[in-house]
Amino acid sequence: MIDVIIADDHPIVLAGVTQLIRQEASMRVVATCVNGLEALEAVRVQRPHILLLDLKMPKLDGLRVVRALAADRIVVGTIILTAEADEAEVSAIRSAGARGIILKELSPHHVTDSIRRVHSGAEWVEFLGRSAKDTAVRSDEDESLGLTPRELELAMLVASGLRNRDVAIRLGISEGTAKLHLYNVYKKLDVANRVELVLRMRRAGVPGT
């Protein structure tokens, strides 16, 4: 049985994730929390296998909770739930000792899948924009770059010179989500900036670049 603590200051999200976990025969919710201080104390007392932790909460944000647990040498598989995060936050979350990060906009199965992966020993689990629409058949350009259709679409917009805000508007997503997609693209293509991205796409023969 995988013991889980859920911490989120949004009642609807907290209730929804709690119900989702309770439907899993191999998982049980041992505590729910509405702020970072509650989450920290609950983990200290309950010692769960998994902590599902909202990044931005009152009293103590998710990143500070992760750091406090690390300072206490408490072993728990912390998975960050967030509506958005920039590249610096993703890096900080991982460096602090969290074991995963998930965008709240994704399908519920990503949550239970991440719990199973972390509990089974995965060092890092990341779901930052791999939504159901990303399972569409890939184009030849997509295959050559290893990007999902959504990531390829974003990369092409970025390569055309659009700023993150304009890319987000064009795709109908938040600017934070656009940044996370771009972060994934940079990692997959092993590039560090937009200039390198354009050059990489040109070498792959992507039209319009």
User: Domain end: 102, 127, 152, which one?
Assistant: 127
* Residue 209 covered by a domain: no
Residue length of the chain: 209
The type of residue at 20 is L
- Is the pLDDT score of 208 beyond 70? no
Q: Which alpha helices (DSSP H) does the chain contain, by range? A: 11-22, 36-46, 62-71, 87-96, 109-119, 140-145, 149-159, 164-171, 175-189, 194-203
Band of residue 137 on the pLDDT scale cut at 50, 70, 90: very low
State residue 89's pLDDT score. 82
Q: Who wins on pLDDT, 87 or 129?
A: 87
Tens of pLDDT, residue by residue over 83-111, are: 877 777 888 898 999 999 998 877 788 89
State residue 143's pLDDT score. 44
* Residue 190 covered by a domain: yes
User: Domain end: 104, 127, 150, which one?
Assistant: 127
- Is the pLDDT score of 17 beyond 90? yes
